[in-house]
Structure 1
Amino acid sequence: MEKSMDMADVNYKKQRVSPFLRQLLAVSGVVMYMIGTGANIAYPGVLLEQLRQPDSAVKLTPEHESWIASVLGLALISGIIVAPFSLQRLGRKLTNQLSTLPAMGGWALLVTAKGPTALLISRFLQGFGMGLQAASAPVSIAEYSSPKHRGAFLATIAFSFAFGMLVAHVFGTLLYWRPAALACGSCYVISLILVSLSPETPPYLASVGRYIECRKSFRWFRGCDEDSEKELEVMLNSQRKSVTTSPKISKLKLLIQILRKPEFYKPTVIMMFMFVLFQISGMTVVPSYTVPMMDEVTDGTIEPYTSMLMVDVVRFATAVIACIVVNKLNRRTVLFIGIIVSVISLFLAALLLYLRDFGYIPDDYKWIPVIPTLMYIFGKTLGILPIPWAIAGEIFPLAYRSLGSGISGMFLSIMFFVVVKTAPTSFRQIGVSGTFCVYAFCIAVCGGFLFYLLPETRGKTLYEIECHFRGVKTEAKTDVCEKDKMLELERVEEG
């Protein structure tokens, strides 16, 4: 047995592709899916604008338009309900693969749609796949990645959203909506191929007792150096111990026990606020209604599609900066910088819009509200877009991550539907300026709660984070032996 293991080690060491590149390949499959998710969210911004034209092949009412933009939120709920069971029973890889199928089917149906019903069904299929992936993405990336690369890889989720929104609006500007849909849907084909090239995650294989496959998968992702081998053995031994020592109780009692654990319910409450903040900041409203929103902000001084692409470029450039900033600065610092910039910019943009409406701004400067509006896009993309997804990959103990992601993701889905569905009515009744004020107030309220609830997670092991929620103090910084112990426990929890 030992001889065969030695031969396996030699074979793995001979591979020329570094562990980092293998992890990057696996993460790229999830990233491509999230690019498609960004395109899903932003696509109504060009679809609805083209369908409003007199010669459009599909005629829509304002009610149809709001449902086409918001039905993703309802579909997300169904996908997120299924996700924890799929992740636990089918595994990370198969869940990622299956989530691409309804998304591809949705885009295919959208390409051939001849009426509002087909458009709604296609959007629902896209949203169901998004729901599966919304819960699966942080879990998959965290388990694909080694601890030193985990933060950087989790930050790519925000980048993927922004890039997908830019892709959808560029294709929608250059192409008719049917070929634009075909181009956007190709992201899921690439995602399926990339995910299929990588093995199942080692922690999942260990959790279901497939230890030989777990060893192969772990070495594929991490290599065979001494530290990696030690981490692998700690993970396997911990899993075997948990299997032999776990008492046999009913699933209901087990669920009640989990819900009562502070290391579960405290992170869940925090993620609820994080995802409410994510949606109430206009994260999905702006891409869906960029053209009419920016048309009012610019008062017609800038061509609508030009202003839409201005927003997309600012969002994309900021997302690139966020990937770097999230790894350099504390999570709380980045989040609250984003919140403060967003709130100030929204109130300032609303004030300028009110002043313009009452004639206090000369005609030559009617475009001036564009500046704080773009600052708002910068602020929410810098802090409010990436931090919830980075925190979601760190804040839950891996034993409860599927369940915690599912419950907190329900709030993401519900708020998605509510905010996007009510946005057209809000724009009509109180205008863009009034809507900006509402968003600014809600962001400030959520930010206030998170200021007291959210701990700093950067630079902490998973063990330290869990101890924080349990109310247990650690002396990791002053005791070297205890530090080594916590590092081993972190590796266990990564499994």
Structure 2
Amino acid sequence: MTERTYVSPFLRQLLAVSGVVMYMIGTGANIAFPGVLLQQLREPDSVLRLTAEHESWIASILGLALISGIVVAPFSLQKLGRKLTNQLSSLPALGGWALLATAKGPTALLISRSLQGFGMGIQAAAAPVSIAEYSSPKNRGAFLATIAFSFATGMLIAHVFGTLLYWRAAALACGSVYALSLLLVSLTPETPPYLASRGRNDPCRKSFRWLRGFDHNSEKELEILLNSQKKAPVGRKVSKCTAYMDIARKPEFYKPTVIMMFMFILFQVSGMTVVPSYTVPMMDEVSGDTSAIDPRVSMLMVDVVRFVTAVFSCFVVNKLNRRTVLFIGIIISVISLLVAAMLLYLRDFGYIPEAYHWAPIIPTMVYIFGKTLGILPIPWAIAGEVFPLEYRSLGSGISGMFLSVMFFVVVKTAPFSFEQIGVKGTFCVYAGAIAICGVFLYFLLPETKGKTLYEIECYFKGVKGDDGHVELHEGEKMLELEKVECG
């Protein structure tokens, strides 16, 4: 089937993805905003006075609120669809930023952060699923890598606005991205896989062709998608508990869940959310008390390195294998963290001249580069690919639970860690945790680059196709799939 289209499929997919990207920019701003908010509230003329306990809760409560959003997300994704879930998740985020901008006390700040976290929780499950289902295999890697770009952009925006503007005005500026997200999401159709899973074949064809065009390969993929969702005959009825136990025993469900558990633990223990929340005090110690580098300048240096690397990662993830990018990021992060910690210890013992007390900044920036290149984008790319369509909502919700719990634990304990063992000790802990997660993922994670979502599903099921076969590379546990249609 052929038909002339005046807008390329790539641009249509880009429009569909852009609404989710804008939301994730807001998420990056949510994570980073305490770094400037708390700094301004510590000023002597601040209208709000916070205790150290208030500060740690304002930075970490997003993690607890994420849990509530993630609990809701699987049901919303399954019952309401990807598009409506994306739209509804914007509302608590908008309300949270509005309340933050008008807050009169610590309680209002905590409530506003909770609203932001609730919306983030829903979107943490919805974003990778939505982007993966909107994208063709050719573009999926780059589009999923835009989640990393979005985080970095949001963090940069929050710190720039928070440096240049009063915190109330900065909150309104950061919150405005959710209004743009809501508009862009409203302009795009529902994802084809969701429509297929609900038996809405005609709307599915219309949405798929709007996104992917009418070429032969796309039409073949469309028919495979529709055929894969034909309902089997209804068997005996079982309780929900039994049904969930049956799902948990299926390799296409538990294998991706274990992979994503380690992925999101890696994401958090790498300091992905700690660094934006506590950039100023961290960089204050790294740069040295006698350094001429202002901590706020160091904060913007971190943001710029993160942003430039995130832009670079969009191209890298689309060109190189997922595993390659991930393990490059892991290796760079571990080595640079250990080098930075060693330099900090040497400086404390007086082995580094005062004129070079700034030296730990260099490996710290390399660490920011490494984690942003591989550890930031790949978990989100994999999250959108590994779960089969039937369990995608549930799997995203469960794996997102690990993300939110680790978010709270890591960010809440960071001030205590900085106080008890210093930034240098914290760097050593993070390096060890990253290395441990990396070892597990080396043996668990298959390669998904260039595969259709249906091919990846077939791999985890271990099903041989009608006109091909599944091979597993023994050395690296990587997937090599022929073009198959599962029997």
TM-score of the aligned structures, taking structure 1 as reference length? 0.92
What's the CA shift for 1:159?
A: 0.8
**Please, which of 142, 148, 151 is the counterpart of residue 141 of structure 2?**
151
Q: Distance in 2 between matches of 1:112 and 1:352?
A: 43
Matched, 1:401 2:392: yes
State the partner residue of 2:93: 103
Q: Distance in 1 between matches of 2:311 and 2:353?
A: 36
Q: Distance in 2 between matches of 1:85 and 1:77?
A: 14
**Please, which of 14, 20, 27 is the counterpart of residue 24 of structure 1?**
14
What's the CA shift for 1:215?
A: 2.6
What's the CA shift for 1:22?
A: 1.4
State the partner residue of 1:73: 63
Q: Deviations over 1:327-352 (max 9, x none)?
A: 22221111111111111111111111
**Please, which of 365, 368, 372 is the counterpart of residue 363 of structure 2?**
372
State the partner residue of 1:347: 338
State the partner residue of 2:195: 205
SS in 2 for 1:359: coil
Matched, 1:287 2:276: yes
**Please, which of 431, 439, 457 is the counterpart of residue 430 of structure 2?**
439
State the partner residue of 1:237: 227
Letter in 2 for 1:383: G
Contact kept in structure 1, 2:41 and 2:47, CA below 8 Å = yes
Greater shift in the superposed pair: 207-216 or 417-426 = 207-216
Contact kept in structure 1, 2:310 and 2:373, CA below 8 Å = yes
Seen in structure 2, the aligned counterparts of structure 1 residues 76 and 477 have a Cα distance that, compared at 3 Å, is closer
State the partner residue of 1:194: 184
Q: Distance in 1 between matches of 2:232 and 2:176?
A: 42
Matched, 1:40 2:40: no
Seen in structure 2, the aligned counterparts of structure 1 residues 231 and 266 have a Cα distance that, compared at 3 Å, is closer
Q: Distance in 2 between matches of 1:233 and 1:437?
A: 51
Q: Deviations over 1:368-407 (max 9, x none)?
A: 0100111111111111101101111121112211111111
Aligned residues: 474
Percent of matched pairs sharing the same residue: 78
Seen in structure 2, the aligned counterparts of structure 1 residues 235 and 266 have a Cα distance that, compared at 3 Å, is closer
Q: Distance in 2 between matches of 1:162 and 1:368?
A: 24
State the partner residue of 2:213: 223
Q: Distance in 1 between matches of 2:200 and 2:457?
A: 27
Instruction: Give 1:91-490 correspondences, 5 Å limit.
Output: 91-239=81-229, 241-242=230-231, 244=233, 248-300=237-289, 301=291, 302-471=293-462, 476=469, 483-484=482-483, 486=484, 488-489=485-486
Letter in 2 for 1:276: I
What's the CA shift for 1:299?
A: 1.3
Unaligned ranges ≥5, structure 2: 472-480
Unaligned ranges ≥5, structure 1: 1-8
State the partner residue of 1:5: none
Q: Distance in 1 between matches of 2:217 and 2:344?
A: 59
Q: Distance in 1 between matches of 2:392 and 2:366?
A: 34
Contact kept in structure 1, 2:69 and 2:122, CA below 8 Å = yes
**RMSD, matched Cα:** 2.0
Q: Distance in 2 between matches of 1:244 and 1:202?
A: 23
Q: Deviations over 1:160-211 (max 9, x none)?
A: 1111111111111111111111110011000000000011112212222223
Q: Deviations over 1:429-482 (max 9, x none)?
A: 11111111111111111111112222222244445544543455775489xxx9
State the partner residue of 1:4: none
Contact kept in structure 1, 2:138 and 2:450, CA below 8 Å = no
Q: Distance in 2 between matches of 1:463 and 1:146?
A: 12
Q: Distance in 2 between matches of 1:96 and 1:468?
A: 29
SS in 1 for 2:272: coil
Letter in 1 for 2:418: F
Greater shift in the superposed pair: 222-231 or 438-447 = 222-231
Q: Distance in 2 between matches of 1:58 and 1:288?
A: 19
Letter in 2 for 1:458: K
Seen in structure 2, the aligned counterparts of structure 1 residues 351 and 177 have a Cα distance that, compared at 3 Å, is same
What's the CA shift for 1:425?
A: 0.9
SS in 2 for 1:126: helix
Contact kept in structure 1, 2:158 and 2:174, CA below 8 Å = yes
Q: Deviations over 1:405-438 (max 9, x none)?
A: 1111111000000000010111111111111111
SS in 2 for 1:57: coil
What's the CA shift for 1:315?
A: 0.6
Q: Distance in 2 between matches of 1:195 and 1:262?
A: 33
Contact kept in structure 1, 2:252 and 2:387, CA below 8 Å = yes
Q: Distance in 1 between matches of 2:443 and 2:309?
A: 27
Greater shift in the superposed pair: 228-237 or 257-266 = 228-237
Q: Distance in 1 between matches of 2:450 and 2:132?
A: 15
- Structure 1 runs (4+) deviating above 6 angstroms are none
Letter in 1 for 2:355: D
Seen in structure 2, the aligned counterparts of structure 1 residues 91 and 467 have a Cα distance that, compared at 3 Å, is closer
Contact kept in structure 1, 2:137 and 2:450, CA below 8 Å = no
Greater shift in the superposed pair: 368-377 or 299-308 = 299-308
